[in-house]
């Protein structure tokens, strides 16, 4: 019984490796936040280290990112993160929305909701 379950799990694990996931690697910076805002170096460094992987159009993937189900989880976080706040397309947003997003950033960081706990 245990043997069959283990075998089933292994087969499943192998099969899910074939599920594709979108990679977030377009490096278009036309509407990047830095086009309208002067982002100080120290802030840019924090963004790069802690936020950009989920909130820009360019993710630095870790080596295990090609292994399912991690691949799927990462793609999900990136898509969801970009939907809420994408620094690469930030200046396309109406000004009022941009300002509101800055408030959200403060809130997220103060409440320690961002970066996502699974990321740190
Ligand atoms: C591992 C991926 C990941 C990282 C890293 C990450 N975020 Fe997020 N972020 C998300 C996801 C997913 C959401 C949407 C779900 C939610 O709101 O909890 C989100 C939502 C947000 C929102 C909410 C926007 C809105 O309008 O509701 C803000 C602001 C935010 N993140 C800021 C940050 C900041 C600042 C950092 C770096 C300090 C950061 N995030 C790092 C994945 C991430």
Q: What is the pLDDT of residues 94-116, one digit of tens each?
A: 999 999 999 999 999 999 999 99
* Consecutive H or E run containing 43: helix 41-50
Q: Residue range 77-104: average pLDDT?
A: 97
Domain extent for 74: 2-119
Whether 54 lines ligand 1, by a CB cut-off of 6 Å, is yes
Q: Is 5 exposed, middle or buried (0-12, 13-18, 19+ CB in 10 A)?
A: exposed
Whether 53 lines ligand 1, by a CB cut-off of 6 Å, is yes
Task: Please report the pLDDT score of residue 120 as a whole number.
Answer: 84
18-61 per-position pLDDT tens digit: 999 989 999 888 999 999 999 999 999 999 999 999 999 999 99
Q: How far is 80 from 60, CA to CA, in rounded Å? A: 16
Q: How many domains does the chain have?
A: 1
CA of 102 to the centre of ligand 1 (A): 12
CA of 81 to the centre of ligand 1 (A): 5
Q: How far is 79 from 43, CA to CA, in rounded Å? A: 23
Q: How far is 67 from 23, CA to CA, in rounded Å? A: 13
Whether 93 lines ligand 1, by a CB cut-off of 6 Å, is no
């Amino acid at each position: 019984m245990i043997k069959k379950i283990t075998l089933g799990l292994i087969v499943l694990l192998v099969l899910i490796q074939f599920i594709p996931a979108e990679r977030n690697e377009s490096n278009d910076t036309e509407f990047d936040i830095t086009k309208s805002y002067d982002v100080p170096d120290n802030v840019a460094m924090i963004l790069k280290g802690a936020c950009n992987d989920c909130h820009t159009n360019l993710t630095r993937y870790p080596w295990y990112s090609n292994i399912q189900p991690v691949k799927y989880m990462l793609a999900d976080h990136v898509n969801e993160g970009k939907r809420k706040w994408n620094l690469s397309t930030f200046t396309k947003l109406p000004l009022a929305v941009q300002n509101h997003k800055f408030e959200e950033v403060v809130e997220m960081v103060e409440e320690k909701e961002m970066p996502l706990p699974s990321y740190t």
